[in-house]
Amino acid sequence: MSEEIRTLFQSTFGKSISISEEASEFLYKKFKPKEYAAREMIVESGGYARYFYFVLSGVQAIYLLNEKGEKVIFGFSFKGSPSGAFDSFIRQEPSNFFLEALTPSKMIGITKPDFDELFNHFPEFYRWRAHFMEDILLGRISREVELSTYSAKKRFDAFVKRCPPELLDIPQKYLASYLNMTPETFSRLRALRD
């Protein structure tokens, strides 16, 4: 396994737990490389999420379609972050979401049986899982506050401040949807920053 993947595992899991040599070998064995082309659908609504991913490169979006058939973006994944249609992966039921590679993407993925086996063999990973779930919950609460109480400009500024540079290179319609504003408003606010 490459040094990049070793570093990813250490930065992801090492914040919460000490990873034994045996656990490291399990991770390296069970996470498989996956590649997706730009605009390739990774999971479709109604389909099943087969993998829990970590992103090595690229940007993916998770979204639903509204009544007009427009994409409503709920989040992005990018280098170093987890990715997947977690509703389907966890419950092993059809996903409510679409997961799409917006740019060419290299990822590593683990299947649900192997994911469950990780926790059965190495219970210390439950501590990482608790921190992971806390981060998702707190991030979701923060996003709801922003969407409900911030002006479009303040939402835009907060997003730009925390987002990785590669997100600013994807089509602005995705970013506008994520920020709950029109592409025209997003474009105007972006022009003010440049």
Task: Tell me the three-class secondary structure of 79-147, residue by residue.
Answer: CCCEECCHHHHHHCCCCCCEEEECCCEEEEEEEHHHHHHHHHHCCCHHHHHHHHHHHHHHHHHHHHHHH
Give the Cα separation of 145 and 5 in Å (integer): 34
How many C-beta atoms surround the C-beta of residue 151 within 10 A? 9
Residue percentage of the chain with pLDDT more than 90: 82
Instruction: Look over the chain and give the mean of its residue pLDDT values, rounded to a whole number.
Output: 94
* Banded model confidence at residue 193, pLDDT cuts 50, 70, 90: confident
Reported as a single tens digit per residue, the pLDDT across 106-148 is 999 999 999 999 999 999 999 999 999 999 999 999 999 999 9
The enclosing H or E element of 19 equals none
Write down the pLDDT at residue 15.
84
The enclosing H or E element of 32 equals strand 32-36
Query: What does the pLDDT average to over 65-85?
Result: 95
Write down the pLDDT at residue 138.
94
Query: What does the pLDDT average to over 27-39?
Result: 96
Question: What is the chain's alpha carbon radius of gyration, rounded to the nearest angstrom?
Answer: 18
Write down the pLDDT at residue 63.
98
**Which residue has better confidence, 52 or 166?**
52
Q: List residues bridging with 102 in a β-sheet.
A: none
Reported as a single tens digit per residue, the pLDDT across 4-28 is 888 899 889 988 888 899 999 999 9
Domain boundaries, the chain: 3-120
Residue 194 has pLDDT above 80, yes or no: no
Write down the pLDDT at residue 169.
84
Query: What does the pLDDT average to over 151-174?
Result: 91
* Banded model confidence at residue 163, pLDDT cuts 50, 70, 90: confident
Write down the pLDDT at residue 1.
56
Fold for 3-120, please state it.
Jelly Rolls (2.60.120)
Residue 170 has pLDDT above 70, yes or no: yes
* Banded model confidence at residue 85, pLDDT cuts 50, 70, 90: very high
The counts of H helices and E strands in the chain are 8, 8
